[in-house]
Amino acid sequence: MKFFDHLPVIVAVLILAIVLVGEVIVSTDSHDDFSSSISVDGDRVDFELGSRNNHVYEVLSLRNTLETPENVFIYYDKGHISAVDKADVSTGARALDENYYVQQLVHTLEVRGINTAKIVNAEALKELMSSDGKGKSVVMLSGSIPSTVYDGEEDSLILKWIESGGRLYWLGNVLGKYISSGDSLITKENGTTLFLGAECIQTDQVWGTSTSEGDVFWDLLYFQNNETTYGVDPSKLPDSAEYKCIGYSDGTCSTFTFVTHGSGMICVVGGEYSNNQRMDLAHVIAAGIGPTTVLVEDVKGSVSGSVKGTIARGDSVYVIIGGLYTVYCENHEVI
C-alpha cells in the first residue's frame, strides 16, 4: 500500500497527539508549582516569585485599578435564548459555543488567580443583582440579557446594579439590544444608550491592524485577539463619559473599552467568540483594569526556582508567569 493511502490516518493521529500534549501541559501545571509575594517599603514594592520550572515573568505596578473582584459570576442559561453565532474553530477542535466558552473561562480565570468564578442562570442573576454590586463582576457572553434583570427601561435591575458598583463584562453582540425571555428574543431599539449613553456599537466584522492610541496593556498583558466587531466607537460617547480604550484597534474601535457607569463600570469586549478573546478577557478581569487604570512600572525577567526584585509603588501589583503561554497570575493589592 502506498504512503498516501495512509495519509488521512497519519494526519488524524498527529492532530490527536497535539491535542493530548496540550491537555498534559494544562493538567501538569498548577498553582502549587508557582508562588508570588510582595512587601511594601516606602515608595517601592519588593516582590518574590517562585517557579519549579524555567519561565519568563512580568510584574506590573498599576494605579487606579478596580481591585481584585470578590466574586466573578458568569451568566449562562440554556433556558434563555442567546443572540450569538457559533465561532469558527480549527480542524479537529471542539465547537466554541456558549457553553464551552463559559466552562473554559472558569478554568482560564483560575490560572489567573481567580478561584471564585461561578456560573449563574437567569434567576440566580436576578437574585445577585437585587443587592449591591460593589466588589462583584458579571460576565455576559450570551448576546442577549435575560428578562429577569432587563426590560429595556432605565430602571432595569441590571442598570441599577451597575450604578451601585457592579462591573459588567459584555461580549457577543450589541449591548442592550436583545432581551431574552425563554425561547423568545425581543429587540430593544436604542438599548445601548441605556448602558453607554449613546448608540455606539460597531456591527461590521472588522479586525484591528494597530493598537489603541497610547495603550501599553496590549503588550504587557499579552493580548491576542484583534477582532473589534461589537466594539465601542468612543467618538459617539457623551462628552461627559469617562472611558478607556485598550488592545488592538481598527482605527475607530478597540478590543476593550471601559466606561464608567455610576459607581460601577461596563467593559465592552470586541470580537466574536475565540480562545484568544477569552484569554485576554481573563487577564483584564484578574488585573482589575478599569476606565482610569494606568501603568506605574513593569519589570520583566525569567525565573527558575525563585527570584526577587523591586518595583515602583502603585495600588496593586499584577504578576504574570509564562508570558504568552500564561501558567500563573496573581494580583496583589498594595496597602
Is residue 60 classed as helix, strand or coil in its secondary structure? Answer: strand
Confidence of residue 9 (pLDDT cuts 50, 70, 90): very low
Separation CA 260–CA 232 (nearest Å)? 13
- Using an 8 Å Cβ cutoff, are 84 and 273 in contact? yes
- Mean pLDDT within 314-333: 97
Residue 19 pLDDT > 70: no
Separation CA 263–CA 6 (nearest Å)? 62
In the chain, what are the domains?
Answer: 36-65+294-335 (2.60.40), 67-292 (3.40.50.880)
- Using an 8 Å Cβ cutoff, are 57 and 321 in contact? yes
CA distances from 181 to 82, 140, 187, 318 (A): 10, 16, 11, 40
Which residue blocks in the chain are alpha helix, DSSP H?
Answer: 3-28, 98-111, 122-128, 157-163, 191-196, 217-220, 275-287
Separation CA 142–CA 161 (nearest Å)? 18
pLDDT at 95: 61
Separation CA 68–CA 317 (nearest Å)? 11
Using one digit for the tens of pLDDT, what is the confidence trace for 267-323?
999 999 999 999 999 999 999 999 999 999 999 999 999 999 999 999 999 999 999
The bridge status of strand 264-269 relative to strand 167-170 is parallel
Q: Count CB neighbours of 17 within 10 A.
A: 10
- Mean pLDDT within 121-133: 97
pTM for this predicted structure: 0.89
Residue 7 pLDDT > 80: no
Residue 143 pLDDT > 60: yes
Using one digit for the tens of pLDDT, what is the confidence trace for 32-48?
799 999 999 999 999 99
Grid cell in block for residue 86: 457559533
